């Protein structure tokens, strides 16, 4: 509270100083004592001079009134300018906060997306490793089945060859027997 009061007092002093600097001091014309020369008028004043002398106090009051009005207008304008500056500062602050908020949200979103991307890549690598492992196992199984089939085919072939050789031998024996008979 005390700091605010001090600041207000300082601001008011500054405003007063600036207003005093801006407003040129209007010096009232010194009242000239009319010296009536005996040669010129001999006691009779012209109408213009008489009116001027009579209305001098009114003119002074009016001039001081105008001066006060001008000072008042300047003060009001100064207050308006200060108010505008405050609003501009508040608006700038608000915009800056919004911009910072946007940047934070953007950064958070970017980090989240990056994290999700890394997780997805890791999952893809795991799936790829599993797929490769399964393929290798499938290849091994296929190779084993192929070898078993080949071995089986070899066995059947060898059995067939043996049977064929036995049949040939049997036929040869039969031919020999038939020839011998």
Asked if residue 87 is part of any domain, the answer here is yes
pLDDT in tens, 3-62: 666 666 777 676 766 666 555 555 554 444 445 444 455 556 677 877 888 888 888 899
Residue 171: which domain range?
A: 47-181
pLDDT value of position 97:
95
Q: What is the DSSP letter of 35?
A: -
pLDDT in tens, 92-151: 999 999 999 999 999 999 999 999 999 999 999 999 999 999 999 999 999 999 999 999
CA angle, residues 8, 9, 11, in degrees to nearest 5:
65
> Can you tell me the mean pLDDT for 61-90?
94
> Can you tell me the mean pLDDT for 83-92?
95
Asked if residue 32 is part of any domain, the answer here is no
- The helix, strand and coil proportions of the chain, stated in percent and rounded to the nearest 5, come to 85, 0, 15
Instruction: Please tell me which residue, 167 or 114, carries the higher pLDDT value.
Output: 114
Asked if residue 154 is part of any domain, the answer here is yes
Asked if residue 33 is part of any domain, the answer here is no
Report the C-alpha dihedral over residues 35, 40, 43, 44, rounded to 10 degrees.
Answer: -110
Q: What are phi and psi of 40, to 5 degrees?
A: -75, -65
Asked if residue 21 is part of any domain, the answer here is no
Does position 73 have pLDDT exceeding 60, yes or no? yes
Asked if residue 158 is part of any domain, the answer here is yes
pLDDT value of position 2:
63
Number of domains in the chain: 1
Q: Environment class of residue 145 by beta-carbon count within 10 Å: exposed (0-12), middle (13-18) or buried (19+)? A: exposed
Does position 80 have pLDDT exceeding 90, yes or no? yes
Instruction: Please tell me which residue, 112 or 169, carries the higher pLDDT value.
Output: 112
């Amino acid at each position: 509270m005390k700091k605010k009061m001090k600041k207000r007092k300082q601001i008011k002093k500054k405003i007063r100083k600036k207003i005093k600097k801006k407003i040129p001091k209007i010096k009232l014309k010194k009242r000239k004592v009319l010296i009536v020369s005996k040669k010129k008028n001999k006691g009779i004043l012209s109408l213009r001079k008489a009116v001027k002398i009579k209305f001098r106090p009114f003119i002074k009051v009016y001039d001081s009134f105008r001066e006060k009005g001008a000072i008042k207008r300047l003060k009001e304008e100064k207050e308006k300018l200060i108010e505008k500056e405050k609003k501009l500062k508040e608006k700038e602050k608000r915009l800056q906060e919004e911009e910072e908020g946007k940047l934070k949200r953007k950064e958070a979103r970017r980090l989240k997306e990056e994290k999700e991307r890394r997780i997805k890549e890791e999952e893809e690598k795991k799936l790829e490793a599993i797929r490769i492992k399964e393929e290798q196992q499938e290849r091994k199984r296929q190779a084993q089945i192929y070898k078993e089939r080949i071995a089986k085919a070899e066995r059947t072939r060898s059995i067939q060859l043996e049977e064929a050789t036995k049949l040939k031998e049997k036929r040869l024996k039969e031919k020999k027997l038939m020839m011998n008979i």
